[in-house]
């Protein structure tokens, strides 16, 4: 009897939203995801960290009675049981953004993960770019968070954080994909600033870095050189670098120096010792030549641009003549030439690569344009740095219909390694652009996806992330890996059932429910293991769910067991008079049927064993 002078102790067990319990149960059933952290809201007048710590929980934020808790899925039930009934537990409320949102959020499956409470909260993402113009406009529209805990920006250039709005567009896509993540923005203008930005970000705890910038000239696009030294070092500092492949598929040439007529000029095609490019008056272009003699060389090639055919009146309008050979005082050690030119009139211009003398070796060389396409070009290995680096995730571009972008740089690297790892959407809308094109737009989709994966698996290392992200894709091009889309376009598995978003759409299953039909088998088990319907709980319509047949009774979920009662307790899958006799004993109450037998003996599905079942079974047996 309760002492009337004392208040009754609170009843144990928090109130909990049903969809929370269902999702936690589903996650807990899958060993690979049982320790995945989920975010829930606890409504309570007071809640201290010591109440959630024993269950590996963390109170991340508070507002009035609302407490946001991060906790492993397989610890949620124990936490709820330990809390008083005055506490209410739920997922964050469903919500819909009214600001402009990139279409890639739905296509990649990020929206599914967000609907399950994963917004990448707690993950820090870095965006290293060349300018963040119109940042305040984007913040005012709600497309980026205000400057503060969720967004910081550093100018490493000394010119202010503005300029091009390229970085702002990139940051918006990252934020759309991972709205709960904290963004660290950095404006840089050279590789020294690039390295400093990386070091500062990793010191602050950034785990994923997006760089939608392509670098030329530091190496032969084979994963070596100073740019790769910087980007690869993110891995040792605990962060994953994600990089745009570049938009240079049609702006690239790769070949080995050839000079059949001994005029010292490289033949871009048989009998053609020049390349051409169509330039527009007033539009600047840079041309970059590299040859495979890094890190330093005495092999000397030069680069020239003519305003007409070199042998028919064309005049050199720009050139790059680094001296990789000759006097030490003028020696330039890197196998690299670059020229910049702004034409005063439009027309066809001619590019010439020339040896200093005939004794120079014939080496593989690359030529890139930063402006118009090259007329003689090589699409293969048009990758730029640091997408070519070994520990960087290179991202190609596909449109909203999963067609590879004609501009999107291809792999492999010049040393033969497969690139890109993945592809992601471009041509998406931001608040500043009606269609933000290029691998610059694709890369932040991948960055956001990586952050969502890390939020779901906080212990994931960069190496594990580099393996996991290419596995969460839809194959959209040549079957298997290809050099334009890598393993495929990002398609996240939000519900952890082993099927990515696009596969779920094909089968009509829910991307946010691991077991769409609620039969106890995950969607992937039904499709890949048992060939049952993932949208019908009872594929053979025998009254037993597919899960019961597989997990409890070890019967065939694709073959009806209705009427199969003999031998009693061990049905043999054969329908004959023995089954009829057992059913008769059940109806006559001479034997008590088990729950399974009550279902299998109910031939007419009226939930009662009676003479009508006997008559129907007799008819089926031909009596």
Q: What is the pLDDT of residues 41-70, one digit of tens each?
A: 788 888 888 888 999 998 867 756 768 788
For residue 529, give the DSSP letter: I
Give me the mean pLDDT over the 595-609 stretch.
88
Residue 201 pLDDT greater than 80, yes or no: yes
All structural domains of the chain, each given as residue ranges with its CATH number in brackets, are 15-90 (3.30.70), 104-122+179-248+383-490 (3.40.50.200), 253-369 (2.60.120.380), 577-621 (no CATH)
Tally DSSP H helices, then E strands, for the chain: 17, 22
Cis peptide before 386 (omega within 30 of 0): yes
- Identify which of 391, 396, 430, 427 has the alpha carbon closest to the alpha carbon of residue 177: 430
Q: What is the pLDDT of residues 501-531, one digit of tens each?
A: 778 888 898 877 889 999 999 998 988 899 9
Query: Which pLDDT band, with edges at 50, 70 and 90, does 101 fall under?
Result: very low
pLDDT at residue 191, as a whole number: 83
Q: Which residues contact 35 (CB under 8 A, 6 or more apart)?
A: 72, 73, 74
Q: What is the pLDDT of residues 380-407, one digit of tens each?
A: 999 999 999 999 999 999 887 888 888 8
Tokens of 69: 């808790």
Alpha helices in 69-190 (DSSP H): 76-82, 104-107, 110-115, 135-140, 166-177
For residue 73, give the DSSP letter: G
Distance CA 480, CA 611 (A): 58
- Identify which of 191, 225, 223, 189 has the alpha carbon closest to the alpha carbon of residue 335: 225
Distance CA 398, CA 413 (A): 20
Residue showing tokens 């992330």: 465
pLDDT at residue 63, as a whole number: 55
| Whole-Å CA distances, 401 to 174, 501, 562 | 21, 15, 46
> Do 432 and 138 form a contact (C-beta atoms < 8 A)?
yes
Strand order in the sheet with 336-341: 252-256, 364-369, 285-291, 336-341
pLDDT at residue 302, as a whole number: 95
Q: What is the pLDDT of residues 550-566, one digit of tens each?
A: 998 888 889 888 888 88
Distance CA 444, CA 459 (A): 22
Residue 495 pLDDT greater than 80, yes or no: no
| Whole-Å CA distances, 525 to 46, 357, 515, 548, 557 | 42, 67, 9, 14, 12
pLDDT at residue 3, as a whole number: 36
Q: What is the pLDDT of residues 293-337, one digit of tens each?
A: 999 899 999 999 999 999 999 999 999 888 888 765 567 788 988
Candidate from 266-275, 424-433, 435-444 with smallest mean pLDDT? 424-433
Residue 250 pLDDT greater than 70, yes or no: yes
Tokens of 478: 């040549």
Candidate from 12-26, 117-131, 140-154, 208-222 with smallest mean pLDDT? 12-26
Residue 9 pLDDT greater than 60, yes or no: no
- Identify which of 473, 481, 523 has the alpha carbon closest to the alpha carbon of residue 501: 473
Give me the mean pLDDT over the 151-158 stretch.
92
Strand order in the sheet with 88-90: 15-16, 88-90, 37-43, 66-72, 58-63
Across the strands, what pairs with 474?
Answer: 489
Residue 131 pLDDT greater than 90, yes or no: yes
Residue 102 pLDDT greater than 60, yes or no: no
Query: Which pLDDT band, with edges at 50, 70 and 90, does 4 fall under?
Result: very low
Query: What phi and psi, each to the nearest 5 degrees, are found at residue 607?
Result: 70, 15
Report the share of the chain in percent with pLDDT over 70.
90
Angle between helices 439-456 and 166-177 (to 10 degrees): 30
Query: Which pLDDT band, with edges at 50, 70 and 90, does 31 fall under?
Result: confident
Query: Which pLDDT band, with edges at 50, 70 and 90, does 347 fall under?
Result: very high
Query: Residue by residue, what is the 3-state secondary structure of 559-607?
Result: CCCCCCCCCCCCCCCCCCHHHHHHHHHHHCCCCCCCHHHHHHCCCCCCC
Report the share of the chain in percent with pLDDT over 90.
51
Tokens of 575: 């329908």
pLDDT at residue 401, as a whole number: 83
pLDDT at residue 115, as a whole number: 74
Q: What is the pLDDT of residues 444-478, one digit of tens each?
A: 999 999 999 999 889 999 999 999 999 888 888 88
């Amino acid at each position: 009897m309760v002492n009337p002078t004392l208040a009754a102790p609170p009843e144990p067990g928090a109130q909990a939203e049903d969809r929370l319990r269902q999702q936690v149960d589903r996650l807990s059933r899958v060993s690979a995801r049982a320790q995945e952290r989920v975010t829930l809201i606890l409504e309570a007048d007071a809640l201290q960290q010591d109440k959630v710590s024993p269950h590996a929980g963390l109170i991340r934020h508070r507002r009035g009675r609302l407490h946001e808790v991060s906790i492993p899925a397989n610890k949620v039930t124990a936490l709820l049981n330990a809390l008083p009934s005055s506490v209410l537990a739920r997922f964050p409320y469903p919500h819909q953004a009214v600001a402009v949102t990139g279409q890639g959020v739905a296509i990649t499956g990020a929206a599914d993960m967000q609907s399950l409470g994963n917004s990448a909260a707690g993950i820090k993402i870095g965006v290293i770019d060349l300018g963040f113009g119109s940042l305040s406009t984007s913040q005012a529209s709600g497309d980026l968070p205000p400057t503060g805990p969720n967004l910081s920006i550093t100018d490493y250039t000394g010119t202010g954080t503005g300029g091009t709005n390229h970085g702002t567009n990139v940051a918006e896509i990252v934020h759309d994909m991972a709205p709960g993540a904290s963004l660290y923005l950095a404006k840089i203008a050279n590789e020294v600033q690039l390295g400093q930005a990386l070091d500062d970000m990793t010191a602050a705890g950034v785990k994923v870095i997006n760089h939608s910038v392509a670098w030329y000239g530091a190496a032969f696009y084979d994963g070596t050189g100073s740019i790769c030294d910087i980007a690869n070092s993110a891995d040792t500092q605990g962060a994953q670098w994600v990089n745009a492949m570049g938009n240079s598929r049609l702006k690239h040439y790769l070949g080995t120096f050839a000079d059949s007529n001994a005029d010292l000029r490289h033949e871009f095609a048989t009998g053609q010792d020049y390349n051409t490019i169509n330039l527009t008056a007033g539009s600047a272009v840079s041309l970059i030549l590299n040859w495979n003699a890094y890190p330093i060389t005495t092999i000397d090639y030069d680069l020239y641009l003519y305003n007409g055919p070199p042998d028919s009146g064309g005049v050199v309008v720009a050139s790059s003549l680094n001296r990789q050979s000759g006097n030490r005082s003028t020696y330039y050690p890197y196998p690299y030439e670059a020229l910049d030119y702004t034409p005063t009139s439009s027309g066809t211009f001619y590019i010439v690569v020339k040896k200093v003398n005939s004794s120079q070796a014939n080496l593989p060389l690359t030529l890139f344009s930063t402006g118009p396409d090259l007329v003689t070009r090589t699409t293969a290995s048009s990758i730029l740095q640091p997408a070519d680096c070994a520990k960087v995730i290179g991202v190609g571009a596909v449109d909203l219909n999963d067609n590879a972008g004609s501009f999107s740089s291809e792999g492999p690297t010049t040393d033969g390694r497969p690139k890109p790892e993945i592809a992601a959407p471009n041509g998406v809308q931001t608040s500043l652009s009606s269609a933000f094109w290029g691998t610059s737009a694709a890369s932040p989709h991948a960055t956001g996806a990586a952050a969502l994966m890390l939020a779901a698996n906080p212990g994931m290392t960069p190496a594990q992330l580099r393996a996991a992200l290419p596995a969460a894709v839809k194959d959209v091009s040549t079957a298997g890996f290809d050099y334009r889309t890598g393993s495929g376009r990002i398609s996240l598995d939000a519900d952890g059932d082993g099927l990515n978003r696009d596969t779920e759409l094909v089968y009509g299953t829910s991307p946010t429910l691991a077991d769409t039909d609620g039969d106890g088998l995950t969607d992937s088990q039904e499709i890949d293991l048992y060939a049952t319907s993932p949208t019908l709980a009872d594929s053979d319509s025998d009254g037993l769910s597919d899960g019961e047949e597989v997990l409890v009774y070890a019967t065939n979920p694709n073959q009806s067991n209705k009427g199969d009662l003999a031998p009693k307790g061990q049905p043999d899958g054969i329908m004959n008079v023995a089954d009829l006799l057992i059913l008769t004993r059940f109806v006559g109450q001479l034997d008590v049927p088990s729950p399974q037998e009550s279902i299998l003996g109910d031939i007419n599905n009226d939930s009662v064993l009676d003479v009508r079942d006997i008559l129907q079974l007799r008819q089926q047996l031909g009596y």
